[in-house]
């Protein structure tokens, strides 16, 4: 599993399970501000922390993953 580090506690961050990911690309379509696709169609995270204004979009991207490879987690205090 690929873990994208984030700095502030309680901040939302994306996690991608690189083993589960099949490269469908739905996440990058729904969240282009934070994700893009590599040449094989697998997601690349460009920004670790999810800004509050993109939280709803991030949740949609997580829900759209057909293999549940994308997760949104909150930092620990």
Q: Give the tens place of pLDDT for each residue, 15-46.
A: 999 999 999 999 999 999 999 999 999 999 98
Task: Please state the domain extents for the chain.
Answer: 2-74
Question: Is domain 2-74 classified as CATH 3.40.50.720?
Answer: no
Can you give the pTM of this predicted structure?
A: 0.79
Residue 3 confidence class, pLDDT cut points 50, 70, 90: low
Burial of 33-67, coded b for 16+ CB within 10 Å and e otherwise, reads ebbebeeeebbebeeebbeeebeebbeebbeebee
């Amino acid at each position: 599993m690929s873990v994208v580090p984030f700095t502030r506690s309680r901040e939302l961050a994306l996690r991608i399970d690189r083993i589960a990911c099949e490269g469908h690309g739905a996440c990058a379509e729904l969240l282009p501000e934070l994700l893009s696709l590599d040449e094989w169609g697998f997601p690349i995270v460009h920004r670790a922390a999810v800004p509050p204004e993109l939280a709803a979009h991030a949740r949609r991207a997580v829900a759209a993953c057909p293999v549940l490879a994308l997760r949104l987690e909150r930092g620990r205090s």
